[in-house]
Amino acid sequence: MILPYYIIIPLLTAFIISLIAGKKDIYAIWLSFIATTALLILSIYSLLTSKHETITYTMSGWKIPFGIVLVQDALTSFTLVTVNIIAFTAILFSINYIRYLSSDWKYYALFMLLLTGMNGVVVTGDLFNLYVLMEIALFAAFALVAYGSRAEEFEAAFKYAVMGSISSFMILLGIAVTYSATSYLTMAKVAEVLPLVDKKVVFWVGALFIAGFSLKAASIPFHSWLPDAHSSAPAPISAMLSGVLIKALGIYVLLRIFYNVLDAPEIFLKAFLVLGTISILIGVFLAIGQWDFKRLLAYHSISQIGYILLGIGIGTPLGILGAVFHLLNHAIFKGLLFLNSGAVEIALGTRDLRKMGNLSKILPVTSQTSLIASLSISGIPPFNGFFSKLIIIIAAIEANLPWYAFFGIIGSLLTLASFMKVQRYGFKAENVIEVASNKIDWRMNLAMILLAALCILTSMMVIPGIREVTLDPVVSVVANKTEYIKLVLGGLNEN
C-alpha cells in the first residue's frame, strides 16, 4: 500500500533535512531531489495502474467512524501526478536559483512541508485531516513567500496569511456544521448521510466551502492575496503556488466536495459558472496592464482558474473533462512561465518587461520555452492549452450556454494579446542589455525544457485510446457523484 508514502516521504525528508543539513545546503538538495523523484515515480505508477479502481487505506487499523481513511481513485492519481511533476521541476530549477538568494537548507525543508500538505490534501478521505494538512501546506507557503526577506515579500506573506486565515476559518466552520449535522468526518460517510438531513444544511455548508476554497483557488472576488504572493515569492515557489497549490487546496477540493459529497446542487454549479466567467475576464484585463513579468503571470492565474471553474459549473461530462484537463495544462504552462521569469530575473536583474530585450541569443532556452508556454496559455494549437479551452467552450455550447462560451473565447483572445506584449517587449525587443547568462545553469534549463515538452506531449491526451486511460477515468469519478460512496465504503473492507 503506497498511499501513506505520499505524506511520509516529504514529511520525513523535511525532518531529516532539519537534523543533518547544518550550514550546508548540499544534503538538503540531494534529499529533496530524491524525495520528489520518488514521489513523481509513485504518482505516475499509480495513475497508470489504478485506472478505474478506488483504493482505500485506514490508518492504524481503526475503522470508520473512528479511523482516518486515505483514498486513491482516478481523480486522486491525476492530481498527484500534476502536483509532483511541478514539484520535481521546481526542485531541479531551485538548486542553482536559490543559491543566488542564500545557500540555506531551510528552503528545502519548507518546500518538503509544502509538498506534504498538498499530497496529504489530495489523498485524505477525511474532512478534518484535510483541514490539518491544508494548514501545513499554507504555513510553509507563507514562509516561502517571505523567503527573500525583503519588505515587499513580508507584506505579501502577511496579506496571504490574513486572507488564508479567513478562508481557513470559513472552511473549519463548514466542517463543524457538517459534523454537527451528520456525526461523521469521513467524506464518503458524510455523502451517505447528507441526503437524510435538512436541505438547508447543505446550502449552509456549500456556501461556507465555496467561499473558503474559492479563496484558496484565488477566483474573483477572492483573489486579493494572489498577485502580491505569487509575484514576491522565489520563482520556483511561484510555480508551485500558481501551478499546483491553488489547484490542490482549491480546485481539487471543490471538485471532491461539491460533486462527490454534496452531489453537485444546481445552485452551486451556477455559482461556479458566474465566478469562472468573472475570473476569466477581470483576471485577463488586470494582466494586460502589467509590466512586471511575474505580476502579469499572477493575474493570468486568476483568469485561467476561471476556465476550470467554468468547466466545473457546466457540469456535463465534457465540461468536467475540459476542467480536469485544463487543471493539468495550466499547472504545466504556468509553472514554466514562472520558471522563465525567474531565469530572466536572475540573468537581467529585473522583472520589468520594458527593461528587457532580445533574449533569443543570450538566453535561447528561456526564450524558446517561454514562447511555447505563451502559445499554450493563449490557446494556440497544437499546444495543450488549446485543447482544454476548446473542450470547455464546446461543452458550454452543447449545454446551451452560448454566452459563457463567448466569454471564454474573448478571454482567450485577450490572453493572446497579453502574451504578444510579453514576447514583443520582454523577449523580442531590440534594447541593448547586459546579461549574466552564465547564471542559468543546465539544471534550470532542463527544468524549463521538460515543462515545454509537456506543453506539447500532453496535447496527445485527447487522442482516443490515450484519453480512455488518462482523462476518462477522472471524469467518471467526478461525474458519477454517488458512486464515490459505494466505492470508498466498499473498499474499506479490503484492507
Furthest-apart CA pair in the chain: how many Å? 70
Q: Which amino acid is at 118?
A: M
Q: Which helix (H) or strand (E) holds 43?
A: helix 26-50
What's the confidence (pLDDT) of residue 493? 43
The one-character DSSP state at 372 is H
Q: Which residues are bridge partners to 56 per DSSP?
A: 71
Residue identified by cell 502559445 is 375
**Model confidence pLDDT, tens digit, residues 394-426:** 999 999 999 999 999 999 999 999 999 888 888
Reading the block at residue 170, the C-alpha cell is: 470559513
What's the confidence (pLDDT) of residue 96? 87
Please report which confidence band the pLDDT of residue 62 belongs to, taking 50, 70 and 90 as the band edges. Answer: low
Please report which confidence band the pLDDT of residue 491 belongs to, taking 50, 70 and 90 as the band edges. Answer: low
**Model confidence pLDDT, tens digit, residues 433-460:** 666 556 788 899 999 999 999 999 999 9
215 and 163 Cβ atoms separated by less than 8 Å? yes
- Examine the pLDDT at 91 and tell me if it is beyond 90: yes
Residue identified by cell 483557488 is 217
353 and 422 Cβ atoms separated by less than 8 Å? yes
- Examine the pLDDT at 162 and tell me if it is beyond 70: yes
What's the confidence (pLDDT) of residue 432? 62
Q: How far is CA 311 from CA 124, 251, 285, in A?
A: 24, 11, 21
User: In terms of Cα–Cα distance, which of 270, 248, 232, 300 is closest to 121?
Assistant: 248
245-278 burial, b at 16+ Cβ within 10 Å, e below that, comes to bbbbbbbbbbbbbbbbbbebeeebbebbbebbbb
Q: Which residues are bridge partners to 476 per DSSP?
A: none
**Which residues neighbour 434 within 8 Å (Cβ) at sequence distance 6 or greater?**
none
* Rg of the Cα atoms in the chain: 21
pLDDT average, residue stretch 172-185: 90
**Model confidence pLDDT, tens digit, residues 180-217:** 888 888 888 888 888 888 888 888 999 999 999 988 88
pLDDT average, residue stretch 70-96: 92
What's the confidence (pLDDT) of residue 197? 83
What's the confidence (pLDDT) of residue 310? 94
3-state percent breakdown (helix, strand, coil) of the chain, nearest 5: 80, 5, 20
- Examine the pLDDT at 224 and tell me if it is beyond 90: no
3-state secondary structure of 184: coil
7 and 118 Cβ atoms separated by less than 8 Å? no
The lowest-confidence range among 90-94, 120-124, 220-224, 305-309 is: 220-224
Please report which confidence band the pLDDT of residue 495 belongs to, taking 50, 70 and 90 as the band edges. Answer: very low
- Examine the pLDDT at 492 and tell me if it is beyond 60: no
In angstroms, how far is CA 178 from the centroid of its own chain? Answer: 26
What's the confidence (pLDDT) of residue 468? 86
Ordered DSSP codes for 360-374 = TTTSHHHHHHHHHHH
pLDDT average, residue stretch 262-267: 86
- Examine the pLDDT at 6 and tell me if it is beyond 50: yes
Please report which confidence band the pLDDT of residue 280 belongs to, taking 50, 70 and 90 as the band edges. Answer: very high
Q: Which residues are bridge partners to 126 per DSSP?
A: 186
- Examine the pLDDT at 57 and tell me if it is beyond 70: yes
The lowest-confidence range among 42-46, 266-270, 486-490 is: 486-490
User: In terms of Cα–Cα distance, which of 65, 59, 355 is closest to 188?
Assistant: 65
Q: Where are the domains of the chain?
A: 1-263+463-495, 274-461
SS (H, E, C) 266-317: HHHHHHHHHHHHHHHHHHHHHHHCCCEHHHHHHHHHHHHHHHHHHHHHHCCH
Q: What is the mean pLDDT of the chain?
A: 87
CA 408 to CA 279: how far, in whole Å? 10
Please report which confidence band the pLDDT of residue 48 belongs to, taking 50, 70 and 90 as the band edges. Answer: confident
What's the confidence (pLDDT) of residue 172? 94
CA 33 to CA 39: how far, in whole Å? 10
**Model confidence pLDDT, tens digit, residues 131-145:** 999 999 999 998 898
